[in-house]
Amino acid sequence: MSTNEKNPVVVIGAGIVGVCCALYLLREGHRVLLVDKGGPGEGTSFGNGSIVTEEAVVPVQTPGIARKVPGMLADPLSPLAIRWSYLPRIAPWLLHFVRASSPERVEEISIALRQLLRGAMAAYDPLLEAAGIRDMIRRSGWVSVYETEAGFQSYQPKLELQRRRGVKLEVLEAEELRQLEPSLAPIFRRGVFYPDVAQTVNNFRFVQELAATFVRLGGEIGRQAVIGFEQAEGRVTAVVTDAGVIACSGVVIAAGAWSKALTAMLGSKPPLDTERGYHLTLPSPGVELRLPVYSTERGFVCTPLETGLRLAGTVELGGLEAAPNWQRAEVLYRNASRWFPGLDRRDESRWMGYRPSMPDSVPVISRAPHHRNAIFAFGHGHIGLSLGARTGALVNDLFAGRDPGIDMTPYRVDRF
């Protein structure tokens, strides 16, 4: 993709995906401007579960999910819930979601996810080296825990799917789980340990450090909202913001849940929506975890951070405008209290953010169909932190016109 280097490549979105795209493009030799209405990492990247994983090959939607939709509507505090008021808006997304849950599609999707996730941690290596923050990644693995035998047995098809994709895992009996993570209450029947999983010690600071490195190496950051584009002859010639017009040589849309409106301005309408996720962070929890602990039964993760214990997770389909339902954060605390009796919640902080999610659980990493100097990179759902650097490297290859080494068809913006 030829560029006019007098003008910058504009990357829209300063979350982990946008920052990594900007860094990779900068390392390629481009002049790069990163723009966002907020500061680096202040959106979805501020409050995620802090996990970097290569094992997340199981999509959110799996066979039988259609039968669970009534329950999602009936219980606003379930791990996967839908707000009644948002149902008319989310209905088209839900239709794609259910269609993507057939056994055949789930198999295809898991292959597409594995292809992306393989090498996800290695893609971070040059960025960590440049930023001097290798110590911010702990390669501890993580463990999925099961309070009931029924819960463990219900997960067997997903374990088999992971095995078919070559995911390393070890099934643990109750005593083995206690030895691995002694802080857990003795209420678990089984566990599954995944060694190829890492975590950041502080996901927000992680993005900020990478953004600071981008600036130190010559990148520019503008704090402004994008409101439109100027276009000519199949190219984006300028990005229009609330602070003025920026002439550009190319554009990358990596604005998370806010990417939908921006891509529509360039003639694409992917079925992107948002999964609202919640967290509580407990600065002095009174327990020390060796590694992150996750529950598929309850839909949340406990991650030890330098800022305390992060309780994060659940999925609420409710859009970008509705007020948070903080009872969902209370559910996180009640669940964690079962695992860690006496959990101290003094000085806790709570948060709600927007996972940008495609209904098939596969992100968009794609050239824009109608503009030869525009690339889309959004919709990473639960694996944005995992795929930040991997996406940046792929976007850089697409921008350069290089073969990225994998089949990019599953990630096309127009696949629906």
- Exposure on the CB side of residue 66, measured as CA atoms within 13 A: 9
pLDDT in tens, 127-182: 999 999 999 999 999 999 999 999 999 999 999 999 999 999 999 999 999 999 99
pLDDT in tens, 214-257: 999 999 999 999 999 999 999 999 999 999 999 999 999 999 99
Let me know if residue 187 belongs to a domain.
yes
Instruction: Give the type of residue at 331.
Output: V
* Measured distance CA(40)–CA(217) in Å, rounded: 16
Let me know if residue 3 belongs to a domain.
no
* Measured distance CA(304)–CA(100) in Å, rounded: 34
What is the reported pLDDT for 66?
Answer: 87
Range of the domain at 290: 9-411
pTM: 0.96
Q: Is the pLDDT of residue 3 over 50?
A: no
Let me know if residue 4 belongs to a domain.
no
Determine the 3-state secondary structure of 77 from DSSP: coil
Q: Is 67 or 304 the better-scoring residue by pLDDT?
A: 304
Determine the 3-state secondary structure of 241 from DSSP: strand
What is the reported pLDDT for 2?
Answer: 45
Average pLDDT, the chain: 95
pLDDT tier at 345, thresholds 50, 70, 90: very high
What is the reported pLDDT for 5?
Answer: 62
What CATH number is attached to the domain comprising 119?
3.50.50.60
pLDDT tier at 302, thresholds 50, 70, 90: very high
How many domains is the chain built from?
Answer: 1
Measuring CA to CA, how many Å separate 386 from each of 17, 51, 58, 81, 124?
Answer: 9, 7, 14, 24, 9
Let me know if residue 416 belongs to a domain.
no
Q: In percent, how much of the chain has pLDDT > 70?
A: 99
Let me know if residue 331 belongs to a domain.
yes
pLDDT in tens, 322-338: 999 999 999 999 999 99
